[in-house]
Amino acid sequence: MRLIPLLLALLLTGAPAAAADKRIALTFDDAPRQRGAFFTPDERAKRLIAGLRRAKVRQAAFFVNPGNFGKNDGVGGEQRIAAYVRAGHVIANHSWSHPALTDVPATDYIANIDKAEEWLKRRPGHRPWFRFPYLNEGRADKAKRDAVRAALAQRGLRNGYVTADGADWNMEALTTDAVKAGKRVDREALRALYVETMVGAAEYSDALARKVLRRAPAQVLLLHETDLAALYIADLVKGLREAGWTIVTADEAYADPLGSSQPDVPSTQGTLTEALAWEQGLPAPRWYDRVAPKVADPLFRARVLHEGDTPK
């Protein structure tokens, strides 16, 4: 009989929310990518699809750069994207050729989006979402930022925002460089570091969102179509679930009212949770520390390559 009073007390005292409201969607950028440290692009796609199926992930989202077809991804890029869709996943716009908004005129950037959308909108599994390459929304150039925001609205495209980022692309690059250099890569340590880092990104964003929004929105985890994802996605999903997370579809995550937010901050690049925290005046750092190479790189060298001491 003590259970009911205890539950009431937890609710009234503002105790941490139940794990059931920790929801997260998996999204993969830069598809199709070039060959990585271990697999051909075809091998990687097959392993990633199998890993998602094994982990019982009903739907992930792949943000596509159609301009990569037949270039750095070898042959068969279009077929790999189609395979993701056949497996139940969805595809969305990551621009044609992955430019940074700060490097090109807004008109050229918008044309790059349009070129990708022309290819994507005729494909099964298409969703009307656009994700900024490098999460770069113009940085301090608000005129560019606002021009692209207006263009997206005119085209019926929503911002395919990110809330949680563990810079998996950097870990992939470190691994590829190590393999090319002939260094011994401790694969079990790499798996553990990958899972720990990406789960940590989700946990960090959840805590920040609760502070900023006073609620727990569905999180959107940024991953990339990498060899590390192909190797360890099932392990990552297991780690997330053990930490209390429910894996939801990208459709469910992007149905959250959070998606209508357009923070006005001095420089727009990074996760949406970071921008919202900045807009509310929360002091830096407002980002997960392992997105910084000065933090992530020494961890990788010590734990995966066994070079030097493990940073504290």
Structure confidence at residue 11 (pLDDT): 31
For the chain, what are the domain ranges?
20-303
pLDDT tier at 18 (50, 70, 90 boundaries)?
very low
The answer as to CATH 3.20.20.370 being correct for domain 20-303 is yes
Of 28 and 4, more confident: 28
Instruction: For the chain, give the DSSP string.
Output: --HHHHHHHHHHTTPPPPGGG-EEEEEEEEESPPP-SS--HHHHHHHHHHHHHHTT----EEEE-GGGTTTTT-S-HHHHHHHHHHTT-EEEE--SS---GGGS-HHHHHHHHHHHHHHHTTSTTEEEEE--GGGEEEET-HHHHHHHHHHHHHTTPEE---SEE--HHHHHHHHHHHHHTT----HHHHHHHHHHHHHHHHHHHHHHHHHHHSS-PPEEEEEES-HHHHHHHHHHHHHHHHTT-EE--HHHHHTSGGGG-----SSEES-HHHHHHHHTTPPSP-S-GGGSHHHHHHHHHHHTS--SPPP-
59-73, 202-216, 224-238, 286-300 — which is least confidently predicted? 59-73
Structure confidence at residue 74 (pLDDT): 62
pLDDT tier at 215 (50, 70, 90 boundaries)?
very high
Q: What is the pLDDT of residues 91-116, one digit of tens each?
A: 999 999 999 999 999 999 999 999 99
User: What is the reported pTM?
Assistant: 0.92
Mean pLDDT of the chain, nearest integer: 93
Of 254 and 2, more confident: 254
Average pLDDT over residues 123-143: 98
Q: What is the pLDDT of residues 289-302, one digit of tens each?
A: 999 999 999 999 99
Is the confidence at residue 231, as pLDDT, over 60? Answer: yes
CA distances from 184 to 44, 254, 296, 310 (A): 21, 41, 18, 17
Average pLDDT over residues 269-285: 97
Structure confidence at residue 2 (pLDDT): 34
